[in-house]
Amino acid sequence: MVARRDSAEGEQTSGDGKKAAKVTKKAPSEAPSKTVPTTRAAKSAAKPAATVRPSAARKPESRTALVRRARRINRELAEVYPYAHPELDFENPFQLVVATVLSAQTTDLRVNQTTPALFAKYPTPEDLAAADPEEVEEILRPTGFFRAKTRSVIGLSKALVEQFGGEVPGRLEDLVKLPGVGRKTAFVVLGNAFGRPGITVDTHFQRLVRRWKWTEETEPDKIEAAVGALFPKSEWTMLSHHVIFHGRRMCHARKPACGACPIAPLCPAYGEGETDPEKAKKLLKYEKGGFPGQRLNPPQSYLDAGGRPAPPLGAG
């Protein structure tokens, strides 16, 4: 018996005129939605891709939902970057405050390549306070704006000697009085040299928290307050490291690597960057892309995770 298809519904008729079983032909399926891995760092290959809802289709978010999503993003990033750390080389609070001032308008890498010579010649606030400005300018030239930075680091060194006995103070209200030290620099020092929680609102942090719709604020102090309200104070310092690490490695300003991002399902801005997983992988930087990091002397945990130290100034 030979079956004949008579309609789009798939009704079949046998050669003797008797109708065979009715077969329904499925309509062509719609194009699949974009997918990205929902994985955490260690399980990315094991979990299936998750559908990412376009930001335009997202419903208004309640305050409770925002807090939950923000904290989940931080937990995910903590697993992706368990070795997150301040990316300026330092051995004491004085070196950290100077390095942070020097990091304005340049990369941490360039600062790290420059400060070894500076601290070798001027290891203490007393030494730098008495330095010849022209000699300091020559050392700081690679960091850019070296004249202004020279005035700042010599000025803050004098302030440390004259007002704080040569010691870096551990209070926000004292730190911000030092030349060249604002709230961002102060929180870097407090969080990483004194273990006191603080949020570091640099350009990466500002960009990402706005992309994630944690806040619509544009002024650093207002961003700091809005984001700080979403998290326990004890998490502020590591939160800053997680966000900044992610901004430098994946969520870039011009072309974020959306297709390689572990928090894409939680991101309202998914799709602003490259969504193809293979193409996105090529955008990854530092250890995520197999390249050296920014510190010449990074923490051992970073090295254990596969990170490579940066080369000294003039190498390669």
pLDDT tens-place string over residues 44-57 = 433 334 455 554 45
pLDDT of 52 reads 56
pLDDT of residue 59: 77
Which pLDDT score is estimated for 23?
Answer: 41
CA atoms within 13 A of residue 227's CA, in its CB half-sphere: 32
User: Among this protein's residues, is 276 annotated catalytic?
Assistant: no
Say which residues have a Cβ less than 8 Å from residue 264's Cβ, sequence separation at least 6.
Answer: 36, 37, 38, 52, 258, 270
Of 89, 108, 149, 202, which residue is the catalytic one? Answer: 202
3-state secondary structure of 150: helix
Instruction: Provide the residue count of the chain.
Output: 316
Decide if 222 is catalytic: no
The pLDDT of residue 58: 64
The answer to whether residue 150 scores a pLDDT higher than 60 is yes
Over range 216-229, report the average pLDDT: 97
pLDDT classification of 107: cutoffs 50, 70, 90: very high
Question: How many C-beta neighbours within 10 Å does residue 172 have?
Answer: 14
Query: Rounded CA gap, 98 and 129, in Å?
Result: 12
**Ranges assigned E (strand) in the chain:** 4-5, 12-13, 35-37, 49-51
Given a cut of 80, whether residue 265 has pLDDT beyond it is yes
Task: Give the closest residue to 76 by CA, choosing from 293, 262, 308.
Answer: 262
Three-state SS at 115: helix
DSSP 224: H
Instruction: Please compute the mean of the pLDDT values over residues 196-207 and round it to a whole number.
Output: 96
CA distance 266 to 76: 10
pLDDT by residue (tens digit) across 61-90?
999 999 999 999 999 999 999 999 999 999
Mean pLDDT of 101-105: 95
Q: How many helices (H) and strands (E) does the chain have?
A: 13, 4
pTM for this prediction: 0.81
CA-to-CA distance for 220 and 200, rounded, in angstroms? 9
Q: How far is Cα 131 from Cα 74, in angstroms, rounded to an integer?
A: 43
Question: Can you tell me the distance from the alpha carbon of 316 to that of 308, in angstroms, rounded to the nearest whole number?
Answer: 15
Looking up tokens 């193409």, which residue turns up? 279
**What's the distance, CA 112 to chain centroid?**
19
Catalytic hit among 26, 184, 233, 282: 184
Q: Tell me which residue of 255, 171, 268 sits closest to 213, measured CA to CA.
A: 268
User: CA 267 to CA 263: how far, in whole Å?
Assistant: 6
